Amino acid sequence: MQTNFFNQIAKMDINSKLILTIAKASESHIVASILVQNDGCGDKAKNIIPPLNLKGTADELDAEFFEHIKAPLKTASGLMVGMESFMKQLEEAKKQSAMEKEKSDKEKKEKEAKEKKYKDAFQKAEELEKDGNYKGAWSALPKVSECPDYAETIRKKQDEYERHFAPSLFNTESVENIEQKQEQEHEAEQEQEQNFQP
């Protein structure tokens, strides 16, 4: 006796394991129960998919068994394959999310470190300024290249400190001081000349 049962199973587009249980329900009826399992699926929701139960006479099952199981089994198998694919993508998304969070945390820490370095250097410069050490204060200021967000503030402070230890010959305050000094020197020379005359 030759059957085509396994050929029919082989033709079905199912990527899962089928567990077939056959039992006699009565003298004339048989119950066939088919459970679809996919060990590769990590989603626990697969466990709530119930088995497909068919009950009929041997002749009814021979005639219509595959017609009744094709669509439901294909759907159940496809669902499990889809769930597994979803779980893998979800896991990948978690990894990507963790990487993005790590990158964001790293950038935040770097920014906080730069701000701390800027504040510490600025505080040291102000302490040196209070002591009248303007050259030291200028040197203690953070570099513009290291703190580009504070470039304007740093440059203003540098200019302020430079006025104390390296005054420009071209600013008006310095010119007035030079003129006063020249006048004082000229008056001193005239007094000396008068003192030496007989």
Render pLDDT for 67-77 as a digit per residue (tens, 0 to 9): 888 888 888 77
Q: Answer yes or no: is pLDDT of 53 > 80.
A: yes
Tens digit of each residue's pLDDT (9 = 90 or more) over 146-160: 888 888 888 888 888
In terms of DSSP bridges, do strands 17-24 and 52-56 run parallel, antiparallel, or are they unpaired? unpaired
Q: What is the pLDDT of residue 23?
A: 93
Task: Report which of 51, 59, 64 is spatially closest to residue 21, judged by C-alpha positions.
Answer: 51
Quick check: helix, strand or coil at residue 53?
strand
A 10 A CB-CB count for 142 gives: 21
Beta bridge partners of 32: 22, 54
Confidence of residue 57 (pLDDT cuts 50, 70, 90): very high
Extract the tokens encoding 188: 């001193």
The residue ranking higher by pLDDT, 109 or 196, is 109
Q: Dump pLDDT digits (tens) for 144-195.
A: 888 888 888 888 888 888 887 766 555 544 445 545 655 666 566 666 666 6
- Average pLDDT for residues 63-92, to the nearest whole number? 80
Distance, in Å, from the CA atom of 73 to the CA atom of 56, rounded to the nearest integer, reads 19
Higher per-residue pLDDT: 28 or 4: 28
Average pLDDT on 37-65 reads 83
Arithmetic mean of pLDDT over the chain:
79
For 170, phi and psi rounded to 5 degrees? -100, -5
Distance of alpha carbon 11 from alpha carbon 136, whole angstroms:
87
Structure tokens at 127: 């302490």
Phi, psi of 3 (to 5 degrees): -115, 160
Q: Chain-centre distance of CA 63, in angstroms?
A: 59
Q: What b/e sequence results for 22-52 when a residue is b if at least 16 CB atoms lie within 10 Å of its CB, and e otherwise?
A: eeeeeeeebebebbbbbeebeeeebeebeeb
Per-residue model confidence as pLDDT tens digits over 95-123: 888 777 888 888 888 888 888 888 888 88
Residues of the chain with pLDDT > 90, as a percent, come to 6
Q: In this predicted structure, what is the pLDDT of residue 21? A: 92
For the question of whether the overall pTM of this predicted structure is more than 0.85, the answer is no
CA contacts within 13 A on the Cβ side of 118: 17
Helix or strand run (H / E) with residue 32: strand 30-37
Which range among 7-11, 40-44, 161-165 has the greatest average pLDDT?
A: 7-11
- DSSP secondary structure code for residue 12 in this structure: S
